[in-house]
């Protein structure tokens, strides 16, 4: 349970609580919103299925290599990912960069049953790509309070 302190009538979320609660939100979420920047500099948002995460630092998604999102990320990898729990009225925005991965080892790792309906040539379909989002900053929101924090570095990364 998150502890919210009040300071001068304002509710304040503690960084340790935000990190812990943010990680629980990511772990329990199946879908996240990926924000990218289009050719004219405008933000674009798309819901994607979260495949895996490594703490709050790295999050993987799969998508079509031919998609608009991939071409935007190739031009500008700056991006954000947003997770939300509407019932608890909490959210986490992670800001960082997203890179496109197409090697066969990664394709095997993230392939799931049912993916063939999107990639008719199977696991090695040239249109099958993995997005690896790496976070630098986070902003956790809960109970009319939010806190911005740097994402801790994962040892060995």
Residue 141 pLDDT exceeds 90? yes
- Side-chain-facing half-sphere of 92: CA atoms under 13 Å: 28
pLDDT of residue 10: 54
Residue-averaged pLDDT of the chain? 90
Here the contacts of 119-126 (C-beta below 8 Å, separation 24 or greater) are: 119/64, 126/65
Phi, psi of 29 (to 5 degrees): -90, 135
Class of the domain covering 22-150: mainly beta
Question: Domain residues of the chain, as ranges?
Answer: 22-150
Q: Are 82 and 35 in contact (CB under 8 A)?
A: yes
Q: What's the pLDDT band for 130 if we cut at 50, 70, 90? A: very high
User: How many degrees, rounded to 5, is the angle at CA 49 between CA 46 and CA 54?
Assistant: 110
pLDDT of residue 9: 55
Cβ neighbours of residue 135 under 8 Å, at least 6 residues apart?
56, 57, 58, 59, 81, 94, 95, 96, 151
The structure's pTM equals 0.88
Token representation of residue 114: 């049912």
pLDDT in tens, 33-52: 999 999 999 999 999 999 99
Residue 84 pLDDT exceeds 90? yes
Q: Are 142 and 88 in contact (CB under 8 A)?
A: yes
Residue 107 pLDDT exceeds 90? yes
pLDDT of residue 30: 96
């Amino acid at each position: 349970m998150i502890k919210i302190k009040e300071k001068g009538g304002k509710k304040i979320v503690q960084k340790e609580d935000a990190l812990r609660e943010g990680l629980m939100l990511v772990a329990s979420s199946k879908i996240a919103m990926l924000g990218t920047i289009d050719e004219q500099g405008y933000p674009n948002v798309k819901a994607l299925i979260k495949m895996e995460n490594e703490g709050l630092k790295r999050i993987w998604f799969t998508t079509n290599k031919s998609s608009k999102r991939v071409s935007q990320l190739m031009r500008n990898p700056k991006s954000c990912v947003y997770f939300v729990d509407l019932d608890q009225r909490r959210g986490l925005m992670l800001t960082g960069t997203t890179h496109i991965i197409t090697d066969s080892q990664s394709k095997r790792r993230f392939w799931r049953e049912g993916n063939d309906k999107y990639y008719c040539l199977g696991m090695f379909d040239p249109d099958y790509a993995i997005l690896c989002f790496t976070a630098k900053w986070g902003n956790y929101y809960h109970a009319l309070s939010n806190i911005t924090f740097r994402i801790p570095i994962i040892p060995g990364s």
